[in-house]
Amino acid sequence: MRVLLIEDDESIAEPLAEGLARYGLDVGRVATGGAALAGPFGDIVLLDLGLPDMDGIDVCRRIRQVSQVPIIMLTARGEEADRVVGLEMGADDYLAKPFSMRELIARIRAVTRRTRAAAGHLPDGAVAPGGVPGVAGEGAERDGGPYRLGALVVDRRTRQAWVRDALVALTPKEFDLLALLAEDPGAVCSRQQILDEVWDPHFHGPTKTLDVHVAALRRKLGDPAWIHTVRGVGFRLVVPASRN
């Protein structure tokens, strides 16, 4: 998927582009509205509203005049009025700075899923009302829908997780951490990657925070074996061996 990132602030654009690339997205970067309007828009547009040459809202309106590409506005605090106008001008969603990589990816997935569904494609991963989501099979529906890993089901859309059909009560950060690890089971997520994506690309707090959340998540999942510590590197999610 190709992303057009319209952001004049290097200190924001740089880590964003790197983060998006880690998710396999192909990022095109421009720093002005003029360059953005020259295109190409790619498959999704991330639009900073505070641009040096023109109002982001105008950029949004002019893109919408020529394209139905999904647009997510990146707004600063205090731009509530702009968000409303932007949505009226055809933006699909907005994200208030500062946001985590995790939130941005979730928003990109949601917006592209919605616009695909609106275009007549089938929505991903049907969910049974009130219950554990219907899951096609092991490792299915990686594209934002619910998926099953052994006894664990993770549903990003409702931000819920189940172990053996019992809902697990998770804090937002615990859910984000679980969802990140569950995205590529068995693969190691480095501590820095987790801090970047679950917390913030500019997270400078104590990394002990991460260990506290991992410990809580292990406890809530009912078996510490779900999350392996890879010493000196990070963590990975594995389906524990059955104890029967």
Position 150 contacts Ca ion (CB under 5 A): no
Residue type (1 letter), 122:
L
d(CA 226, CA 242): 11
d(CA 75, CA 89): 15
SS3 133: coil
d(CA 221, CA 232): 23
Q: Residue 9 or residue 55: which is nearer to Ca ion going by CB? A: 9
Position 8 contacts Ca ion (CB under 5 A): yes
Q: Which stretch binds Ca ion (CB under 5 A): 49-57, 132-140, 214-222, 226-234?
A: 49-57
Q: Could you say which of 50, 185, 222, 224 contacts Ca ion (CB under 5 A)?
A: 50
β-sheet bridge partners, residue 27 = 3
Position 29 contacts Ca ion (CB under 5 A): no
Q: Residue 3 or residue 6: which is nearer to Ca ion going by CB? A: 6
Least Cβ distance, residue 19 to Ca ion (angstroms): 18
Q: CA of 36: how far to CAs of 31, 102, 137, 222, in Å?
A: 8, 25, 41, 49
Q: From residue 203 to residue 242, what is the string marking binding to Ca ion with x (rule CB under 5 A)? A: ----------------------------------------
Q: Which stretch binds Ca ion (CB under 5 A): 46-54, 102-110, 118-126, 155-163?
A: 46-54
Sign of CA dihedral 181, 186, 190, 191: positive
Q: CA of 54: how far to CAs of 5, 6, 14, 48, 216, in Å?
A: 16, 12, 21, 11, 47
Least Cβ distance, residue 143 to Ca ion (angstroms): 31
Q: Could you say which of 13, 20, 42, 48 contacts Ca ion (CB under 5 A)?
A: 48
Q: Residue 97 or residue 121: which is nearer to Ca ion going by CB? A: 97
Question: In sequence order, which residues have a C-beta less than 8 Å from that of residue 66 and are 6 or more positions away?
Answer: none
Number of residues that bind Ca ion (CB under 5 A): 4
Binding site for Ca ion (CB under 5 A): 8-9, 48, 50
